[in-house]
Amino acid sequence: EGKKWTVDREARTFARKIVRSETAVSDVEYEKAAEVLLEKDEKLAKIDREYYDKFKTFLSNEKLFKFKKAMMKWHGGKHHHE
């Protein structure tokens, strides 16, 4: 979870700078912020895949499914603070 937390934090920090900007935000800055948030989702999905592939080597498909379901419930959308 540490990798995911770092990726999420970096993206939210960047987006927060745009939201809290005291000067006018350019179209280019908005585009970059949107890209950063999209890249965050892609990076988080990649990390999920890496963990899934590792867990698949020693967990049954049923346990993998239950684990993923539990993680989704536990997170409860906490990676959506943008």
* Higher-scoring residue by pLDDT: 56, 74: 56
From residue 45, alpha-carbon distances to 13, 20, 39 in Å are 19, 28, 10
pTM for the full predicted model: 0.72
pLDDT > 70 fraction of the chain, expressed in percent and rounded: 89
Lowest-confidence region among 1-5, 16-20, 55-59: 1-5
Instruction: Over range 46-74, report the average pLDDT.
Output: 90
Distance CA 49, CA 57 (A): 13
DSSP strand E in the chain: where? none
Dig out the tokens for 82 from the structure: 């943008």
- Exposure string over 53-69, b if 16+ CB within 10 A, otherwise e: eeeeeeeeeeeeeeeee
Residue 57 host element (H or E): none
User: Which pLDDT score is estimated for 41?
Assistant: 93
- Read off the pLDDT band of 79 (50, 70, 90): very low
- On whether the CB atoms of residues 33 and 10 are closer than 8 A, the answer is no
Q: What mean pLDDT value characterizes the chain?
A: 87
